[in-house]
Structure 1
């Protein structure tokens, strides 16, 4: 059976099917007892898995239709952000933000609350204005902003049906300038966390939680790097990969303005993203607690060093989506790229969770974490409401799986 992108999870499903139409997708869903959608396989756990049939969305006919009047684009669920961004840019349109990897499928990224960075930028799911799904009986249904349960249906973890089409907000195309800095001291960050994270339209810090912040990537929409530099950090004269042994050729362009779709993501769509053989974890901490989270992670930095490749810190603006990591509050997102050593990663994740959970951290649903439903109920105020919604939409639990059972509880 196939495995996920990182190779750390092998799917247990009895079959993987690739419907070529929505009608065929409906037939597959209706005729099987257990079904889950499978996107670009970038989840680092058994989140997409099932004891039944996995449905690949990439076989659905491609749809990318911009409506200039409503400033939206309708797109089929199997399309990747790289493909969508390229097509939008050709027509003079843009998305407000992108994740680090443009390789991601849109439906999967939306369903897990995946995000980019920027004080004013919400997660990618917040750009959704409507969705079309196939329900447990094979019938199609739709939800749109303004509907009673829309805010609970977007970051759905695949529990409400198989999404086959989404409508997203767009805006006129723009340019982005990327500037990389090295060697930001902890003292500078301690005194200026908010200023550093607001130095551009999108800001990412990379560190191993030991000596310093190794790199800061600032992406601006005004065509100018941060005025006066970035405290005691030094502007890099060459393009950097965030990993010491990473290929800088895989990174999107720096030091000169370029089209948004070639600058906002960290990695080129035609290159291997990040390290490749890795496991990822991430936690959203209320923005007000970010300095405390930095201090807590610095205290355990040496203990993480044997398995941590790098850690990225970003900010995400609040939204109203029930299971979003930024539901009802601005957050700082603490991301960890681990070597693909599952036992060592599990031990490291437990250390990170012990450090961050007192600060009301929420895990990224698509990354690796160890928390169960008892803990998650305390940090996700709408989790019980979401389970009730899933029970209403899918009373037989066709789309429920082991991951959801452990993290959210019993839907039946």
Structure 2
């Protein structure tokens, strides 16, 4: 049976599945293939990572992690999961500045799609990348860093430039956090809420303040929020973002102090966060226009709520990476976890994109979206530069797919 993605909504169409055990084996495989893509942990919800050619897992490549304390960097294999890397780093007194909701995702996959954590002053996961090692279409091994021309175009690459085998990341000294969940945030207090802690996520059902949870991940030495913080009330026990789901899958709350990697994600590494019975979409909007964008979504809330499990709002700092959803603009990310029913969800996604169009939304590359190539090109100032870089590094389209070419024509 062909492999599927984590959610089960994509059944890969590859003619062959490979798991090389050495970089030289991977290089030969790439050089001999006319079409090839890499699959990571499968947490994408669209076919950007699919191919009718060769599908490759990098999980069998050597897994050495190399820490450089003087340069404050760590060099890691592409397939390592963030949760495993975080545990390794914390044991040695180091940390990453941000983590996504799921610690289960691979470093290279999250970087290539511009996946993010949360924080007014915190960039997405790709913004921490200081270097890459990748196998290009002719099988050559290329090493690049922040001093390399066009490096800012090579980090969030959608897998279109080569097979990334290793990633070098910035690290910071380890730190502790406390997580508090507050209920019933009024919309006018949203900006103040985002600014109140190291990382903040606001979950909403689009039915008003009553159905809102604020997950505040604050530095452990900061005082707890007052009982009536911004008109909210403190959760009396642990919560799950999706009502009715078991809270034991989530990271510790109620102000219990703990290391960064056990508080920044919403879900524990040792638990399956959900059954995969869902679809996801996400749009990054200019932070300065957030109020208007949220008001536009309020206008179609009656369409959203019947097919929604939960929606999450997060802020992300600007970065210089060409295809990053946060390129050159501070952003509000609006995430939708939908029910697993594409026939009902896709028309709603289209309506969401229609009302957000005036705000130039940049969709998360690994989730369900229908924004066309023209609108994407208008939203990314370095769009044509990336296309030229893609043609230079992959002139024959070895890493091309139908989905990738539809969104990003060569």
2:358 equivalent in structure 1 = 358
2:212 is equivalent to residue 211 of structure 1: no
Whether the 8 Å CA contact 1:218–1:225 is kept in 2: the answer is no
Aligned residue pair count: 406
| Cα distance in 2 between the residues matched to 1:275 and 1:215 | 22
Cα distance between partner residues in 1 of 2:303 and 2:77: 44
Query: What secondary structure, in the 3-state scheme, does the structure 2 residue paired with 1:231 have?
Result: helix
Pick from 209, 217, 220 the counterpart of residue 218 of structure 2. 220
Shift of 1:207: 0.6
Q: CA deviation at 1:31?
A: 1.1
For 1:305, what is the secondary structure of its paired residue? helix
Aligned to 2:270: 270
Instruction: Give yes or no for contact 1:66–1:74 (8 Å, CA) kept in 2.
Output: yes
Q: Which residue of 2 aligns with 1:111?
A: 112
Give the superposition deviation at 1:211.
2.5
Larger mean Cα displacement after TM superposition, 226-235 or 128-137:
226-235
CA contact (8 A) 1:136 1:398 kept: yes
Q: Is the 8 A contact 2:97 2:172 kept in 1?
A: yes
Rounded to whole Å, the distance in 2 between the matches of 1:101 and 1:161 is 25
- Matched residue, 1:38: 39
TM-score scaled by length of structure 1: 0.97
Whether the aligned pair in 2 keeps the contact of 1:206 and 1:310 (CA below 8 Å) is: yes
Check whether the contact 2:227–2:233 (CA below 8 A) recurs between aligned residues: no
Structure-2 separation of matches of 1:137 and 1:382 = 25
Q: Which residue of structure 1 lines up, in the alignment, with residue 398 of structure 2?
A: 398
Coordinate RMSD, CA, aligned:
1.1
Q: How does 1:1-400 map to 2 (within 5 A)?
A: 1-185=2-186, 189-190=187-188, 192-212=189-209, 213-223=211-221, 224-226=223-225, 229-254=228-253, 255-274=255-274, 276-400=276-400
Deviation for aligned residue 1:295: 1.1
Given the superposition, is the C-alpha separation of residues 230 and 355 from structure 1 closer, same or farther in structure 2, using an over 3 Å criterion?
farther
Provide the rounded CA distance (Å) in 2 between the counterparts of 1:156 and 1:298. Answer: 33
Structure 1, unpaired ranges of 5+: none
Which deviates further from its counterpart, 280-289 or 367-376? 367-376
Q: 1:275: Cα distance to partner?
A: 5.3
* CA apart distance, 1:227: 5.3
Task: After TM superposition, give the deviation of residue 183 of structure 1 in Å.
Answer: 1.3
Bigger drift between 145-154 and 297-306 goes to: 297-306
